[in-house]
Structure 1
């Protein structure tokens, strides 16, 4: 297979883009030119631990002072209709962006953009690991908390080029190319099976170890997209191509040292892969009130990177071909009635070769067919009322189970599922200043017989009587395959209370109820959301705005031996802001925001619970709270120049028992720990001079 990768060198590309713009500027003798330059500096207080969350993406995790530089250049030539725009933002920081648009309206357009993004891992790793972030790290056993602090980060650098050509009034060609390099390291881990000759115990259990091994990242993702569009009086059609090419310079992670004494400790990393997609889409106007739409697509995705060590095949040779067909119809047969119908079919053909990668059985081929249907009718009762009725349909056929593959008898599958639903909505304009809507929906999913794996041998057996075939105290029926009843209701209102005050209200409630042959597993889920947005114009110069929202999600599951567990997540967010003109030269503003996100893991026991279980418990709560104050002031010095002052204060309180609880850190087998400051306070102040060239 022929593939290609666009090379990218960050500094060279950024300079070339800027130089190219400078050359264009030299041609602007008689054209209209506007140039704005902003220069400034910012400073931040607090330690690196205090900046862990605040400095994730702005480069202020490691730096206490940052330079600010931006440019906005625009050139318009009325004689040739040429138009050039160049923008550069945060050019001295870790998130610099450059963008160029050069076009002749109605004829052609060329675009180029370059951007960088550095993400700093908010958690600090304390470890004795040598060569962390490389593909060959060396594990060194230490006492927990006595190693070196390690702060990981990843960097993205991407270049995009685009060209659009209007060949004729009916024909247009568009081509876009993007390439992004990603380097650095991110948290990763491994569960190792140690040999007794290397370590008598791993994690206090003979033969087992859990290690923190950062994943080395050095990859490129390139994308190509092209589309040719043609329009006639009634028919509009386009043909397109999309290509994705991923290349990873690190195929494996090869740790050494204590706790890695398996025969082959290599860990596989994301392999090279590629995909090609072609499509033909368009629409046709049958009449002035009826339009049909269509789309045909074909995608082939492959992964044929070679295996590092010997195996049953030289490479996986994975290949999945996907065929897509979609048709739709919209019509307005009557002034008050509008209709919509959509039908979508997708066939995924997994042609990956089968081989004996496991001790028993081969890999699985995951072919599937999916059919989606949608019908909708809208009726305008009068100028105030409009109603909608709709029906939705989804059918999934996951194909015949691969006969040579093995499935656990405790994890049954289902070949087919079908879901049908109805929905209704009523919108009303209750007054010139008040409108609202209510919508309800209900759907039900069921499916074919469950499939049970044959114990110890390949293949599956269709189950007609689950109660006698499965051990219902241990079998896991996947919620994505289970019978499900889903109901939802939504409310919305928009109220212009007076000429100064406007409010928007929204509320939503949804419930899922699952049904399987077992009384255990996920039983039900619930979600709800309530929000209010408002704006108030105090006068011509001053305005207030804000929002208040609360959302919740609950998952209830029953476990064997009388344990009932519930996961509850609630999120509360509020904000108030103000903007205004203090004087004719001073523009000020600010906002105060608050976020409270809490996850509760509750456990209760039923009468059937054995006395050995605790009478209560569950897991500790995970709480994240953030309060942020943002203020700005802009002072106009003279025509074309101004000074802007920004101030930000952020307080974060976060605790996650996954890494530690009640002062006790979770320690990996080699003594590595992961931590984040539970209380983080940080303040930032920046000043920027903005000058518009004459």
Structure 2
């Protein structure tokens, strides 16, 4: 299925390629017709998993083992030789929840239409045992955990997306084509949710509609290639507000209202093109203008049963959001000399936030236009790139490139009285310069490879002063200058280096090897004692693939991958070990050393055992380990971290290890020219000690932080083992 819902009518290319490859006096007309005549296939079978698969069955529609699964696939293609008309019907997983199918009618070089349907399911791997009433609706009630008589039930949450698409193609004139694509999506289901102010379990009733439309004209000549048109999207949330009430709670019986993203829409005009000045020089163009709007009314206008202080708040009844985006990009590729090629581009991108600056909710206070809750965030980026490649000694080429990216950002301002304060201390200018070098060896029968190095340096102006009210923090008090308290990842000063080596080697005619290695290091600056942000990061990736052709009937393959990502982060904090009355503690500095490591291994076999029997086997193993080492270090009177002291706290969470082993075996037996039978067996083992939804001792997570909780229990299955067996009958015809 075309996941982009884009209609591609050029099936005639297949015909032309086959004629070019096989045409000639050595081929008779009937032999050519047999080669290009389309083949259709229908497969019907049944499969069964021995146990539930909450983790591995999240997306494949086979989470439960309650009954056998019907396996139906089909690809039916017909062609009318007289008119050059193609008719195609394709379906995948027709017997499962995540099924899809499409139908297509095409008259070569003239007109075509395509209709498709795609159902995507996503089931939660957790099971929630809860007394929550009204789960999945817009009116839910949290039952206090002290009410032992409250009935409980198990909930397995999930969402379903049903996508329907329609595409149309028409050739208007030689070189001029018209395409229109429309997609309609309905998303429904339930997800785990929480009011945010407390550890409480409620469900998010998902019910939304998304529509997308693209209409484009394409014009192609020997010199020109142009494509322009319109893109539009419309989003509608059918559940604007959820009311959460409480039963049996002594401290709070006021309901909580939870809102969803408001209805919105976006419209874009675009033009992409290219012009061939000469066979070796080409220019490209990309222009876009888009406007996104969010003018949905706030869903709280009719609410009457929340606290009087909140009802007294006065504000606008809708956001009136408006964001304009402009993009202009120009490129030029040329080969001015035989062994030298050049690539240059210039890109301008601007996002302009035109949403009114307003206050939407200030409990017990009237609307105040000078103290808004909403602030704008606009920015523009200019990117220029120049790259050249020189070829020498027949098989070598050397590439050098330079990219300069300059960004100007609006600092979010908030009006307070007669002054304007920076909300967060962002930079207004961010510049990044990147250089790349690459040496490549190619066109060899036995060995090809490349080595490349990239270095980038990001800088910018100083962070703007902003004020932070620390009047409640022991040892600080009053308004503090937080110019150096944040170092955002996307604009922090940073040096980055990347090294990549790849080799493609065939030491024997029957053996081919591919190897690649990547190393990367990031170093962040602008750090002082009181800083939130990354210090440095590293990443590495090593892969090796091997294919061995023992005989024409036996092929073996193997692969291995190792990846590791590290990040060292530090930030100012106040821990709760030394504050009076258990409140904020003494100022301290927190260090985090985070690391993710993954190992993947695969082995495969394909064997044509006899003229009728094909056998295959695949073994896959995956293991990942996530580490969370954290330390809190006190500061001395001058604000300098103290190493080491007995007051240092180790807050590192336990490591998380995930393992997956999957063995897949299959055989295909040919009954006759049109019929085959396929047998599949899969052994799957998944294991984790993830503490996200369970404690270190294996006990389940329980919602129970305050009186307004219902004691909902979250169950996960840390070890899941299941076997799958399936048999299919495959019929082919022309």
- Alignment TM-score, normalising by the size of structure 1: 0.87
| Partner SS, residue 43 of structure 1 | strand
Aligned to 1:342: 345
Aligned to 2:145: 142
Aligned to 1:229: 218
- Relative to structure 1, the CA distance from residue 644 to residue 448 in structure 2 (aligned partners, 3 Å threshold; closer, same or farther) is same
- Relative to structure 1, the CA distance from residue 281 to residue 72 in structure 2 (aligned partners, 3 Å threshold; closer, same or farther) is closer
Q: For 1:541, which of 553, 569, 575 is the aligned residue?
A: 553
Q: For 1:452, which of 459, 465, 481 is the aligned residue?
A: 465
CA contact (8 A) 1:114 1:158 kept: yes
Q: For 1:184, which of 159, 183, 189 is the aligned residue?
A: 189
> Is 1:250 matched up with 2:239?
yes
| Partner SS, residue 567 of structure 1 | strand
- Relative to structure 1, the CA distance from residue 240 to residue 55 in structure 2 (aligned partners, 3 Å threshold; closer, same or farther) is same
- Relative to structure 1, the CA distance from residue 449 to residue 578 in structure 2 (aligned partners, 3 Å threshold; closer, same or farther) is same
Q: Which string of whole-angstrom CA distances, capped at 9 and with x for unpartnered residues, describes residues 83-120 of structure 1?
A: 11111222121121111121111112211111112211
CA contact (8 A) 1:73 1:87 kept: yes
Question: What is the distance in 2 between the residues matched to 1:34 and 1:568?
Answer: 50
- Alpha-carbon distance, 1:453 to partner: 2.5
CA contact (8 A) 2:425 2:482 kept: no
Q: Which string of whole-angstrom CA distances, capped at 9 and with x for unpartnered residues, describes residues 525-576 of structure 1?
A: 1110000011111111111112100001001023443543200000110000
> Is 1:553 matched up with 2:580?
no
Q: For 2:689, which of 650, 655, 665 is the aligned residue?
A: 655
> Is 1:174 matched up with 2:201?
no
| Partner SS, residue 60 of structure 1 | coil
Aligned to 2:439: 426
- Write out aligned runs for 1:199-598 (5 A): 209-258=198-247, 261=252, 265-310=256-301, 311-357=314-360, 359=362, 360-404=371-415, 411-429=424-442, 431-454=444-467, 470=481, 475-519=485-529, 520=531, 521-560=533-572, 561=588, 563-598=590-625
Question: What is the distance in 1 between the residues matched to 2:715 and 2:701?
Answer: 9
Q: Which string of whole-angstrom CA distances, capped at 9 and with x for unpartnered residues, describes residues 363-420 of structure 1?
A: 1111111111111000002212100000011111112533538999894211111111
Question: What is the distance in 2 between the residues matched to 1:332 and 1:581?
Answer: 48
CA contact (8 A) 1:562 1:609 kept: no
CA contact (8 A) 1:421 1:442 kept: yes
> Is 1:676 matched up with 2:685?
no
CA contact (8 A) 1:562 1:608 kept: no
| Partner SS, residue 88 of structure 2 | strand
Q: Which moved more, 1:234-243 or 1:63-72?
A: 63-72
CA contact (8 A) 2:241 2:300 kept: no
Aligned to 2:579: none
Q: Which moved more, 1:52-61 or 1:590-599?
A: 52-61
Question: What is the distance in 1 between the residues matched to 2:551 and 2:156?
Answer: 49
CA contact (8 A) 2:571 2:589 kept: yes
CA contact (8 A) 2:176 2:219 kept: yes
CA contact (8 A) 1:566 1:601 kept: yes
- Alpha-carbon distance, 1:33 to partner: 7.7
- Write out aligned runs for 1:51-62 (5 A): 51-62=53-64
- Relative to structure 1, the CA distance from residue 161 to residue 407 in structure 2 (aligned partners, 3 Å threshold; closer, same or farther) is farther
Q: Which string of whole-angstrom CA distances, capped at 9 and with x for unpartnered residues, describes residues 423-474 of structure 1?
A: 10000249520011000011111111211224579xxxxxxxxxx97468x8
- Relative to structure 1, the CA distance from residue 469 to residue 441 in structure 2 (aligned partners, 3 Å threshold; closer, same or farther) is farther
CA contact (8 A) 2:671 2:677 kept: yes
- Relative to structure 1, the CA distance from residue 610 to residue 129 in structure 2 (aligned partners, 3 Å threshold; closer, same or farther) is farther
Aligned to 1:6: none
- Relative to structure 1, the CA distance from residue 389 to residue 407 in structure 2 (aligned partners, 3 Å threshold; closer, same or farther) is farther
Question: What is the distance in 1 between the residues matched to 2:211 and 2:295?
Answer: 17
What is the root-mean-square deviation in Å for CA atoms of aligned residues?
A: 2.5
- Alpha-carbon distance, 1:616 to partner: 4.0
Q: Which string of whole-angstrom CA distances, capped at 9 and with x for unpartnered residues, describes residues 118-154 of structure 1?
A: 2111111121111212221211133799942210111
- Relative to structure 1, the CA distance from residue 532 to residue 332 in structure 2 (aligned partners, 3 Å threshold; closer, same or farther) is same
Question: What is the distance in 1 between the residues matched to 2:118 and 2:618?
Answer: 28
| Partner SS, residue 404 of structure 1 | strand
- Relative to structure 1, the CA distance from residue 215 to residue 102 in structure 2 (aligned partners, 3 Å threshold; closer, same or farther) is same
Q: Which string of whole-angstrom CA distances, capped at 9 and with x for unpartnered residues, describes residues 292-351 of structure 1?
A: 111111001111111122451121110111111111111100011100111110111111
Aligned to 1:165: 170
Q: Which moved more, 1:415-424 or 1:346-355?
A: 346-355
Q: Which string of whole-angstrom CA distances, capped at 9 and with x for unpartnered residues, describes residues 185-228 of structure 1?
A: 11222223xxxxxxxxxxxxxxxx21122211111111111110
CA contact (8 A) 2:413 2:420 kept: no
- Relative to structure 1, the CA distance from residue 317 to residue 263 in structure 2 (aligned partners, 3 Å threshold; closer, same or farther) is farther
Aligned to 2:103: 100
Q: Which string of whole-angstrom CA distances, capped at 9 and with x for unpartnered residues, describes residues 560-618 of structure 1?
A: 43543200000110000111111111111010100101100113566715856456451
Q: Which moved more, 1:445-454 or 1:592-601?
A: 445-454
Question: What is the distance in 2 between the residues matched to 1:247 and 1:605?
Answer: 46
- Alpha-carbon distance, 1:80 to partner: 0.7
Question: What is the distance in 2 between the residues matched to 1:551 and 1:116?
Answer: 33
- Write out aligned runs for 1:675-694 (5 A): 675-693=715-733
- Relative to structure 1, the CA distance from residue 612 to residue 470 in structure 2 (aligned partners, 3 Å threshold; closer, same or farther) is farther
- Relative to structure 1, the CA distance from residue 407 to residue 252 in structure 2 (aligned partners, 3 Å threshold; closer, same or farther) is farther
> Is 1:72 matched up with 2:75?
yes
CA contact (8 A) 1:127 1:142 kept: no
Question: What is the distance in 2 between the residues matched to 1:567 and 1:400?
Answer: 31
Question: What is the distance in 1 between the residues matched to 2:642 and 2:424?
Answer: 24
| Partner SS, residue 200 of structure 2 | strand
| Partner SS, residue 245 of structure 2 | coil
- Relative to structure 1, the CA distance from residue 101 to residue 369 in structure 2 (aligned partners, 3 Å threshold; closer, same or farther) is same
CA contact (8 A) 2:700 2:716 kept: no
- Alpha-carbon distance, 1:57 to partner: 2.0
- Relative to structure 1, the CA distance from residue 39 to residue 408 in structure 2 (aligned partners, 3 Å threshold; closer, same or farther) is farther
- Relative to structure 1, the CA distance from residue 213 to residue 676 in structure 2 (aligned partners, 3 Å threshold; closer, same or farther) is same
- Relative to structure 1, the CA distance from residue 358 to residue 225 in structure 2 (aligned partners, 3 Å threshold; closer, same or farther) is same
Q: How many aligned residue pairs are there?
A: 634
Aligned to 1:666: 701
> Is 1:155 matched up with 2:160?
yes
- Relative to structure 1, the CA distance from residue 448 to residue 167 in structure 2 (aligned partners, 3 Å threshold; closer, same or farther) is same
Q: Which string of whole-angstrom CA distances, capped at 9 and with x for unpartnered residues, describes residues 492-542 of structure 1?
A: 000112111111001001111111142443200111000001111111111
Q: Which moved more, 1:103-112 or 1:555-564?
A: 555-564
- Relative to structure 1, the CA distance from residue 128 to residue 518 in structure 2 (aligned partners, 3 Å threshold; closer, same or farther) is same
- Relative to structure 1, the CA distance from residue 321 to residue 541 in structure 2 (aligned partners, 3 Å threshold; closer, same or farther) is same
